[in-house]
Amino acid sequence: SAIPHPPHSRTGTGGETHQTADDADIPTLTTQQGTPVADDQNTLRQGADGPALMEDFHFREKIFHFDHERIPERVVHARGYGAHGYFELTDSLVDVCHADIFGNVGEKTPAFVRFSTVAGAKGSSDVVRDVRGFAVKLYTKQGNWDIVGNNIPVFFIQDAIKFPDFVHAAKEEPDRAFPQAQTAHDNFWDFVSLSPEATHMVCWAMSDRAIPRSFRFMEGFGVHTFRLIDAQGRSTYVKFHWKPRQGLQSVVWNEALKINGADPDFHRRDLWNAINAGDYPEWDLGVQLFDDEFADRFPFDILDATKLIPEELVPIRRVGRLVLNRVVDNFFAETEQVAFCTQNIVPGIDFTNDPLLQGRNFSYLDTQTKRLGGPNFTHIPINAPKCPFHNFQQDGHMAMHNPKGRANYEPNSWPQPQGGPRENPRTGYSSFPQEQSGAKTRERSAAFGDHYSQARQFYISQTPVEQTHMKDAFVFELSKVETPAIRMRMLTHLRNVDETLARGVADGLGITTLPDAAVGPLPVRTDLPP
């Protein structure tokens, strides 16, 4: 044969040749228990043509492990791609925040980032029309801080209780199990047309932002309003932004369709190639800072995740840069097993009462405990803090580091070192002592009620070409909706966004008479800056 045999090769019973480890340079294959393996090609049999023997522990271990390779994919954001890097502080935030990561200019904090689509399954395509996840894990000296964001600054819903319905409607329909994120379908448009608060985000999703050219050319947003806490315990509201130094670029729809056909892995390949070529993507971390007095002047509630804070009103202060400079060694160990969570937070950062954020804080830990097989997924290296950590959590599946020695509780009276870690009121995390009052209720403040003003601002801030892309996207997606009433209901919302947009979409769908505009709880404001 023209193909040379590898050195130290042996001929198997099937006539094939393969390399063996009878040379000191080649590690010997072992079982998971460390037993050296003599033959990895043939099962143990009773006679050369006989039945396989149960005694073949190597075969059984190998097949058993293979049978268990799959874990549940993420319930959303199943398809993603990650890379390592660092965050470097360029402007101290000590004036408003006592978090260590914002204290020392020039300090580098290790980071892991996972970009994702939202609706598609793990094996779906990259260049679909969808929101992109932009999840950042910062391994700070005070513990892991995750900014679990998207490439769009607002969200479809205001309250986490609607999330399961939204996701059910957005993912494949339960009877037919299609479509994926690629094409519109009745369930999605039914849900968003019945949820007027989704209108703003739907406009972003129909814009070019939802078909990014690559992960490297996307913005990222923390979406919710968070708090920064200074050394005196004072709170400043903050919105987090990632601004790509590569610029912002999208493809157009026809390109997206062709790219997906030719290379469903286009975005992951792009990131892998760029990093391996030394062309490291970078983002500036920007913050928008404001206080209660400023917040009260907005016509909307800053706790409403369907609203953004206009950059004209609160300019972005750039305080650091994120650099991605290393691909993973192993996709499953790192990108699949990484677990981002909005409740992973460090001293100096705090939550607000945003009802979407509060629900997220519950959801991530819960789903990850299932997805990653129990409560010890923080023992997986990608999820473990890189600062010292000590606690008395113990046992459960896959416990890698149970408390050492006698004490597994506190307070205890054992001397050090047996006594183990203790709480620290000085350096430990303390929540901002926000005053709360009011009756227990499911009612929402009226300031959550304006669903259209910012959608309108977004539409009119687009260039004419971008506006045409949006209109075309609505026409394309709604043309896939089989139920006429759903299309009409969507038009009732678009009339509140912009008459030209609504008219253009109706024309594209062959609808001559526009329905009346939806009546929102609050009137559309036209006096806001675009």
Residues in the site for ligand HEM, rule: CB under 6 A? 74-77, 80, 114, 116, 133, 135, 148-150, 155, 160, 163, 223, 305, 338-340, 356, 359-360, 363-364, 367-368, 371
Nearest approach in angstroms of CB 77 to ligand HEM is: 3
Cβ 491 vs Cβ 505: under 8 Å: yes
Amino acid at residue number 320: G
Which burial class, exposed, middle or buried, applies to 386 when counting CB atoms under 10 A from its CB (0-12, 13-18, 19+)? Answer: middle
Closer of 368 and 467 to ligand HEM (Cβ): 368
Cβ 203 vs Cβ 458: under 8 Å: yes
Nearest approach in angstroms of CB 81 to ligand HEM is: 9
Closer of 244 and 347 to ligand HEM (Cβ): 244
- Per-position b or e across 89-128, b if 16+ CB within 10 A of its CB: beebbeebbbbbbbbeeebebebbbbbbbbbbeeebbbbb
Q: CA-CA distance, 407 to 419, in Å (whole number)?
A: 6
Q: Is 77 a catalytic residue?
A: yes
Distances (CA, A) of 503 to 481, 495, 514: 18, 8, 7
Closer of 147 and 481 to ligand HEM (Cβ): 147
Nearest approach in angstroms of CB 271 to ligand HEM is: 14
Nearest approach in angstroms of CB 148 to ligand HEM is: 5
Angle subtended at Cα 398 by Cα 141 and Cα 329, rounded to the nearest 5 degrees: 60
Closer of 89 and 135 to ligand HEM (Cβ): 135
Let me know how many helices (H) and strands (E) the chain has, helices first. Answer: 12, 12
Cβ 285 vs Cβ 266: under 8 Å: no
The continuous run of DSSP H or E covering 272 comes out as helix 266-276
Closer of 163 and 459 to ligand HEM (Cβ): 163
Nearest approach in angstroms of CB 528 to ligand HEM is: 22
Closer of 74 and 98 to ligand HEM (Cβ): 74
Q: CA-CA distance, 394 to 377, in Å (whole number)?
A: 12
Q: Is 150 a catalytic residue?
A: yes
Q: Quick one: tokens of 253?
A: 């729809």
Nearest approach in angstroms of CB 330 to ligand HEM is: 16
Active-site annotation holder among 58, 77, 98, 267: 77
Kind of pairing, strands 108-117 and 282-290?
Answer: unpaired
Closer of 212 and 504 to ligand HEM (Cβ): 212
Q: CA-CA distance, 497 to 501, in Å (whole number)?
A: 8
Q: CA-CA distance, 273 to 122, in Å (whole number)?
A: 21
Q: CA-CA distance, 259 to 233, in Å (whole number)?
A: 51
Nearest approach in angstroms of CB 197 to ligand HEM is: 13
What lies within 8 Å, CB to CB, of 398 at 6+ separation is 373, 374, 376, 379
Closer of 202 and 524 to ligand HEM (Cβ): 202
Closer of 305 and 509 to ligand HEM (Cβ): 305
Nearest approach in angstroms of CB 146 to ligand HEM is: 9
Nearest approach in angstroms of CB 35 to ligand HEM is: 35
Active-site annotation holder among 150, 344, 383, 496: 150
Closer of 127 and 148 to ligand HEM (Cβ): 148
What residue is closest to ligand HEM based on CB? 133
Q: Give 414's DSSP letter.
A: P
Nearest approach in angstroms of CB 308 to ligand HEM is: 11
Cβ 286 vs Cβ 315: under 8 Å: no
Smallest Cα–Cα separation from 214: which of 301, 175, 272, 161?
272
Cβ 13 vs Cβ 41: under 8 Å: yes
Q: CA-CA distance, 526 to 530, in Å (whole number)?
A: 9
The continuous run of DSSP H or E covering 289 comes out as strand 282-290
Rg (CA), the chain: 27
Smallest Cα–Cα separation from 322: which of 169, 111, 53?
111
Residue 415 has a CB neighbour count (10 Å cut-off) of 7
Catalytic residue numbers read: 77, 150
